[in-house]
Amino acid sequence: MDTGRLFWTSTTLQRAVASAARCGGIPAPDCGTVAQIKDKAVKEAWSITLDPAAVNVLTEACGMRVTATLAFAFTVPGFLPINLTASTCNATKP
């Protein structure tokens, strides 16, 4: 059960940062600032409590890079928590 939850959480985190990077890459009024891009990642992380402080937004040569880190705690005793990291870079449009 924890393996499925781990993969689902990882996939959801990756989808959230990809959506935020796409939003930051286009000139949209609701994604014009770093805070708005972070908020987009948090909103897209369905059923995951993602802290905006754990989301990083950078402008790089590839475009807009959004990276997020989330601590994943197993429900099965004896397994140590792990950090999941997702990162996506999306080309920016003028």
What pLDDT digit, counting tens, does each position of 56-86 carry?
Answer: 999 989 899 999 999 999 998 889 999 999 9
Helix, strand, or coil (residue 60): strand
Residue type, 45: A
CA distance 63 to 42: 20
For the four alpha carbons of 67, 19, 25 and 28, in that order, the dihedral sign comes to negative
What's the domain range around 83?
Answer: 2-90
> Is residue 69 a contact partner of residue 84, using CB atoms and an 8 Å limit?
yes
Locate tokens 């948090």: which residue?
Answer: 42
User: Is 0.85 surpassed by the pTM of this model?
Assistant: yes
Q: 94 pLDDT exceeds 80?
A: no
Q: In which band, very low, low, confident or very high, does the pLDDT at 93 lie, cut at 50, 70 and 90?
A: confident
Which letter does DSSP use for residue 89 in this model? E
CA distance 76 to 20: 32
The domain tally of the chain equals 1
